[in-house]
Amino acid sequence: MNFYKISLPGWEYPLRDGINITDYFGTTPGITRYPEDILSQPLRDDISRRGLRISEVQVFISPGPHNMKIHIDGTEIGANHCAVNWIVSKSPSWVMSWHEYIGPDLVSEPNAAGTIYMETPSEFCTTLETRMWTGPALVNTSVPHKIVNLSTTLRYCISLRFVRADGGSDFDYVKSVLI
């Protein structure tokens, strides 16, 4: 599985009080990194209590409607990277899907936001799993994936990336801590 719902006290909503989504994050689609202090204190406390360290707090704003290209985060399919994602906007209709890629070898390149990612052309992909959720979810970002925003409104996603105490970062480890 590439997806797990997280059900932990303090994790229901990620942002601290006083953040109005559109005022604070703006309305321009893209990926922006923010300091950890946009997160609620109970969430930050629980993350450190569990021995996890946040490497990045990313906010994705997807236009609506929008069909993202299938890609992996990073440079290696199956590298086991992960994210914990919350959708914090009223975006009524969207899905995240994961895909199997069977095709030619690929090269990675930084995208406009400076994130290293690799596109996996859809003609070589078959769908493995499709999800929509509320609240936090652990997602595998090194299996080819995409978001489809079927809404006509912007979709705001808060995405946390973690590092292990020993410097590594992987889906199975974060899963063992959170699920």
Residue among 124, 89, 67, 96 at smallest CA distance from 2: 96
Residue 112: C-alpha distances to residues 25, 95, 116, 176 (Å): 18, 23, 10, 33
Least distance in angstroms from the C-beta of 10 to Fe ion: 25
Query: Would you count residue 161 as binding Fe ion (CB under 5 A)?
Result: no
What is the total count of residues that contact Fe ion (CB under 5 A)? 1
**What is the footprint of Fe ion within residues 64-93 (CB under 5 A)?**
73
Written as six digits, the tokens of 161 are 């990336």
**What is the footprint of Fe ion within residues 102-141 (CB under 5 A)?**
none
Residue 42: C-alpha distances to residues 8, 45, 85, 153 (Å): 11, 5, 17, 30
Length of the chain: 179
Least distance in angstroms from the C-beta of 71 to Fe ion: 6
Least distance in angstroms from the C-beta of 155 to Fe ion: 14
Q: Which is nearer to Fe ion, 62 or 73 (CB)?
A: 73
Calpha distance 116→46 (Å, rounded):
29
Query: Would you count residue 96 as binding Fe ion (CB under 5 A)?
Result: no
Least distance in angstroms from the C-beta of 111 to Fe ion: 10
* 47 burial type by CB count under 10 A (0-12 exposed, 13-18 middle, 19+ buried): buried
Least distance in angstroms from the C-beta of 56 to Fe ion: 13
Q: Which is nearer to Fe ion, 57 or 73 (CB)?
A: 73
Query: Would you count residue 144 as binding Fe ion (CB under 5 A)?
Result: no
Nearest to Fe ion by Cβ — which residue? 73
The residues that touch Fe ion, with contacts defined as CB under 5 A, are 73
